[in-house]
Structure 1
Amino acid sequence: MKTYRFKRILVPVSLAVESTTAFKQALYFRKKFGAEIVLLHVVQKIGGISNVFQPKLKDSLQGRGMVRLIRFTKMHFRGRIPDDVKLRVEVGNYLNIINSISSSENFDLVILNRSNRIEGLSERFKTNSIDQIIRESRCPVISVNDRWTGSGIRNILVPVDISRQSRDLLNWSIILGKAFNAKIKLLAALTVNIELKRSLAYKKSQIMKHYIEREGIDCTVSIVEKENFGKNDALVEGAKKTPADILLIQGFQDLMFSHSQSERLLVEFLQNSSRPIFSLGVKDEGFVANLLTMSKKQVNISDRISSKALRW
């Protein structure tokens, strides 16, 4: 059966040591899917002066940035950069440029490092910057810290937020499970005094497990029972105890309001997890259907899922 292929991947790099982790993660996807990767280095403007008045300065900054990017890249390829590794240097605001490129150009995935040094951005704003990129990106974003999936992706941990619709989360669980021949580990939280099998956490996770297994993917369910705990705290604690190579998080796709419990859940995982996090991008009705080269049966899996069943 045909599966999803990540064909074109954007990789922002600061050229600092920590950029190597995101770069290596991108190389893993390049090898796995035969993908083209675009290494993007953003050079901050000096003094905030408009490029209109200093075109030569922009050209100079861009040229020096390209020299550094070439040197950085050649170190990983024994001096010769492959044809499917493209280099790009832009001058301007780091966040604005990444958001603009990932939202307007034809990329299937963005891979970046959560600990990148960003000139002019203090430490306490770094997580917020990743949030903003995830919030505005049309395509999924993988953020890595000090770990990457160099030995492969065999187990995918999927925290389930029972307060949100989960069609996209279910679809991507199946997509990634098939792409990597990986086991899906659903994780839900029960924080009220109710019999487990009567809880929404149990019912929803069992429904998702049913559809995942129906696609031939191995799937397990774990319920963290922490009465009087916050749901986010229970999920984060449960995730720490669950072995997995990567986390699949729903992100900001269908949020109507910022600073909600669901948004805070993603932020807490970004802050506390050392594992790579695969966050879904901004909802685009045609995104999955246009990019998946799968059978009609798999592409239209949402049509077979009860709207009522996954509405909680």
Structure 2
Amino acid sequence: MKISKVLIPTDFSENSKKALKALRIFIDHFDCKADLIHVVPLSAYLNDSISKLGLPLDMGDDIYPKIAEDAKKRLQSFSEEYLDKNSSGNLIVEIDRKASNSILHHAEKGNYDMIIMSARGGDATDFLHGSTTEKVVRNSKIPVLALSNEFHYDKIKTILVPTDISDFSFEVVPVAFEMANKFNASLNFLNIVELYNSGMFMESMHSQEYSGKINSFNKENLYSGLMERLEKFFKENALDQFSIKRNEEPFYDEIVKTSGTESISIPVRTVIKKGMVAHDDIIDYANDYADMVIMSTHGRTGLSRFFLGSTAEKITRNLESPLLTLKPDPKH
């Protein structure tokens, strides 16, 4: 995974500083540069109030330029505190009604590889309020790392990959592999079979090839079907460098990446669980057993629904560990 340029939104709160602290880790591992962005909230209410008071002030000419100037100075201060000259990039101040729109706009036009932001902003601001981060997670075309707590790479021993056995969910596996390799971690695949919705796995299959393994709640059958499905995904998507080394003990395998005569192996455990509401079970499992979560933001209609955008947002809001989300290729 190439990470050479990242975008860091900040509202200057203590929570938003988590992203800047995490950036130091990514600079060490990926040698990347960072642009900082702050969005000044456009307030129609304030504009109307000043007009009614008859004050000789214009929001566009007098108020917002001053706010933007102050914000630029604070960004400069943040940059000097958390970044060195080699990693510090542009300082961006925008004025917008919706912070998420500005963040997404700059993320797309600036050719960034990742957005790193706090999952929660300051109590007194809407800029990085959960809703902003959730909108960025749902709509970003590039990976988003959302942080509820500080990021400690030396504590990342288990990376959780929720999967609904769709190609959409498997797209994150190569990225999860690279992250596990960088942080010397292992992988956990988690498949939640929603009790009221278990039959829908059949509807998600392109053929009847895996029907006997997917259509009933048998952990070993589901596990075997997941592994076979992942192997097929590697072959069909020009990912032949990846393979699965099946071990004698079920649910405990290895993903192997081969390049020439060299290979890297990452341990992977597969967990199959029954659940009532998938996103709640993902959050509970992750908060108990995972140090980082990597997942797709969308899934195929007709699956167990926990990869629809709204679920990714709910996980963003309630997860304690770092969450890296990726938007899947629509061709899958």
Q: Same fold (TM over 0.5)?
A: yes
**1:217 equivalent in alignment to 2:217:** no
Determine what percentage of the aligned residue pairs are the same residue: 17
* Equivalent of 2:37 in 14, 37, 40: 40
> For the residues of structure 2 that align with 1:55 and 1:202, how far apart are their CA atoms?
65
> For the residues of structure 2 that align with 1:134 and 1:283, how far apart are their CA atoms?
15
> For the residues of structure 2 that align with 1:206 and 1:229, how far apart are their CA atoms?
26
User: Residue 319 of structure 2 corresponds to which residue in structure 1?
Assistant: 273
The alpha-carbon deviation at position 163 of structure 1 amounts to: 5.4
> For the residues of structure 2 that align with 1:223 and 1:154, how far apart are their CA atoms?
16
> For the residues of structure 1 that align with 2:301 and 2:217, how far apart are their CA atoms?
29
User: Residue 106 of structure 1 corresponds to which residue in structure 2?
Assistant: 111
Taking only aligned residues, the RMSD between alpha carbons, in angstroms, comes to 3.3
- TM-score norm. by structure 2 comes to 0.70
The alpha-carbon deviation at position 260 of structure 1 amounts to: 4.4
The alpha-carbon deviation at position 231 of structure 1 amounts to: 3.4
State the number of aligned residues.
272
> For the residues of structure 1 that align with 2:112 and 2:273, how far apart are their CA atoms?
39
Question: The residue matched to 2:265 in structure 1 has which SS?
Answer: coil
CA contact (8 A) 1:109 1:141 kept: yes
Residues 241-267 of structure 1 deviation map (CA, whole Å, 9 limit, x = unaligned): 32x331101113x5569x943224323
* Equivalent of 2:9 in 4, 9, 12: 12
| Gapped regions of structure 2 (runs ≥ 5) | 49-57, 196-215, 232-242, 245-253, 258-263
Residues 38-73 of structure 1 deviation map (CA, whole Å, 9 limit, x = unaligned): 1112222343659x9824544322211111222233
> For the residues of structure 1 that align with 2:123 and 2:330, how far apart are their CA atoms?
29
The alpha-carbon deviation at position 95 of structure 1 amounts to: 1.4
Cα separation, partners in 2 of 1:111 and 1:255, compared to 1, 3 Å: farther
| Gapped regions of structure 1 (runs ≥ 5) | 286-310
Question: The residue matched to 2:160 in structure 1 has which SS?
Answer: strand
> For the residues of structure 2 that align with 1:26 and 1:64, how far apart are their CA atoms?
24
Cα separation, partners in 2 of 1:13 and 1:126, compared to 1, 3 Å: closer
> For the residues of structure 2 that align with 1:225 and 1:284, how far apart are their CA atoms?
28
CA contact (8 A) 1:44 1:119 kept: no
- TM-score norm. by structure 1 comes to 0.74
